[in-house]
Structure 1
Amino acid sequence: MKTIIIGVDQGNRYIKSREGIYSCGFIVSRSEPLGMDEVIEFQGKYYCIGGSRKKYRQDKTIDDTYFILTLPAIAKRLEKEMLNEADIILGIGLPLSHFNLKKKYIDYFTRGKVEFKYNNKKYLINIKEVMCFPQALSGYMLFYNKYKGIDFINLFDFGQVTLDAVKIHNGKPLLDTAISLNYGMLRLIKTIQENIRKELGIEISEEQIETNLQGRRGIFFKDEIEEIIKRTTVDFVNEMLGELRESQFELQATMNLFMGGGSSIIQNTLDLNKHNGRIGYYEVMENAQLANALGYEILVKEALKRR
């Protein structure tokens, strides 16, 4: 069988790979669902991919959820390659703060031969090897040549649950500076929900707020809701910058490089220039949401070359 290298970023809100992004949620059925376009059939059950995210879990190996959520990414790659069977070398990642789980994650995803169907098409794969890399740094490697000439960089990966941060000096990560702060998208959304509830007595869903933060205004949103979302987001970003400074990240005379699914929201908020000089130069990495997944593939290929 042909060997395929695929990087998959198993986030807390979205699964990301070269072939695209989809929600890390599903509905389980024992009978074939009708009219659904993202369906995995695995071990006698049907999984309709999409909808609300699964609850946050630091350890994603406690059940088959995240393995099942990885199968569509593999199927989409095989479909692109016009294959329905292949050996798979899978690249995955963990935040530096959770990297002690590396072996557990490798064991979890190393499944050997697996049969499943995606959208009623049968696939046979052999997950023969799994490699695990640090998140954020993997995305940085994608653009290493672009940034290697910059002496000092603060690298920030703004995800669903955490903000992972590490300093980079002359192209090399200073691993002892790596931290993980509870300043991800979920905290922002929960804070917005709470403020809307307190001030207006209205319950707004996570999905509605996330859509608004991405620049698509809800048709039936009152101006007061819009104002609370904007104000809360500015306050959140300023509080986050304060925490980074408390954690010894110098932000005003260093390049600040953002990546991750929420990085565009950070950039849009900082562009309002309401940060009171807490941060100097900042930039959002190109392909910020897919960077880790693409970086895993590069690192797998480099590891194979060194053998």
Structure 2
Amino acid sequence: MNKNLVIGIDHGNRMIKSGDGMYTCGYMVYRNAPVGVDEYLKYNGKYYCIDGRAKYKYDKTVDDTYFILTLPAIARRMEKEGVNEADIILGIGLPLSHLQLKEKYITYFKRDEIAFAYKNKKYFCNIKEVFCFPQALSGFMLYYQQYKDIDFLNLIDIGQVTVDAVKIYNGKPVLESAISLNYGMLKLVKRIQENIRKQNGIEISEVQIESSLQGKKSIYFEDDIEKIIETTRIEFVHEMIGELSENFFEFKATMSLFMGGGASIIQTALDASQNGSEISYYELLPQAQLANALGYEMLVSQALKRR
């Protein structure tokens, strides 16, 4: 009998996240094993090098991209557990605004007899069960005891493409308040690229800008480029807060809790802003990037115990 493994995976638009780490949500496909690369995936006779990012998909079940991108996370957990065959119980999530796709996602990921190789090691698994939970709320539940006594709280998940927000009242989500805005980090990066192009006439890659936003100062960037990046970031964050305010999120007398891949970028912009009066109280959820994946795993384990 195969060992049962519970794993939570956050299928982002920039990164795939699990309790065993993160990797980018894109790949290059080869007919033969790529030369000089050890960390590749082999599945259905093709070789995949994890790199870059896939194009945004509202519905990630339209092709096999996100199923393939799930396999390295499964392999990492199987490697950690010291097994090469297992039955997987998978926890995933969707934004509250996408939950109508729940059954479609469950069907998409639930598969048997999956044979693949990762880092030259062979694996065989069955994804026997799939649980799908609300994104952001799952990460919040991981730290529920820490925040349950705060009367009013804005929970804001900063992703690559969208910002998903929901109000929390006395530890319970106000579901009718949930919104999804097109104010993710990709929009910020594109705006920075545009401003640098207009003011300096040069093209800076997404990767370079993302690195700068994460605090890794490039030795090749002139001070004026760094200034454009920082100014654009601050303007963008205040614009995002303004959009949330237009959707009845209050920031003067309410704690705002940021999570997701862009949370630290937002926090840095707010900390650096000379006009922080729009938002009075904010902090990052612990393990802001991994919280959803860890939350999915916790919720699956709890569901199995209740059986």
Q: TM-score, normalised by structure 1?
A: 0.98
Amino acid at match of 2:50: I
Name the structure 1 match of 2:239. 239
Gaps of 5+ in 2: none
Deviates more, 1:237-246 or 1:275-284: 275-284
Gaps of 5+ in 1: none
Distance in 1 (CA, whole Å) between partners of 2:188 and 2:201 is 18
Name the structure 1 match of 2:224. 224
Q: How far did residue 25 of structure 1 move?
A: 1.1
Secondary structure of 1:217's counterpart equals coil
Deviates more, 1:283-292 or 1:52-61: 52-61
Contact kept in structure 2, 1:153 and 1:256, CA below 8 Å:
yes
Q: How far did residue 306 of structure 1 move?
A: 2.2
Deviations 1:251-302 (A, max 9, x none): 1101100000010011111111433410011000110000000000011112
Identical-pair percentage = 65
Distance in 1 (CA, whole Å) between partners of 2:49 and 2:90 is 23
Distance in 2 (CA, whole Å) between partners of 1:201 and 1:96 is 40
Asked whether 1:10 is paired with 2:4, we answer no
Contact kept in structure 1, 2:38 and 2:120, CA below 8 Å:
no
Q: TM-score, normalised by structure 2?
A: 0.98
Distance in 1 (CA, whole Å) between partners of 2:93 and 2:276 is 35
Distance in 2 (CA, whole Å) between partners of 1:227 and 1:146 is 37
Distance in 2 (CA, whole Å) between partners of 1:298 and 1:81 is 17
Contact kept in structure 1, 2:167 and 2:177, CA below 8 Å:
yes
Q: How far did residue 217 of structure 1 move?
A: 1.1
Deviations 1:166-210 (A, max 9, x none): 000111001010000111000000000011111111101100000
Contact kept in structure 2, 1:234 and 1:274, CA below 8 Å:
no
CA RMSD of aligned residues (A): 0.8
Distance in 2 (CA, whole Å) between partners of 1:37 and 1:253 is 52
Q: How far did residue 151 of structure 1 move?
A: 0.9
Secondary structure of 2:272's counterpart equals coil
Count of aligned residue pairs for this structure pair: 306
Deviates more, 1:287-296 or 1:109-118: 109-118
Q: How far did residue 305 of structure 1 move?
A: 2.0
Deviations 1:83-124 (A, max 9, x none): 001000000011111111111111100012211001111101
Asked whether 1:44 is paired with 2:45, we answer yes
Asked whether 1:292 is paired with 2:257, we answer no
Q: How far did residue 238 of structure 1 move?
A: 0.5
User: Mapping of 1:264-279 within 5 angstroms?
Assistant: 264-279=264-279
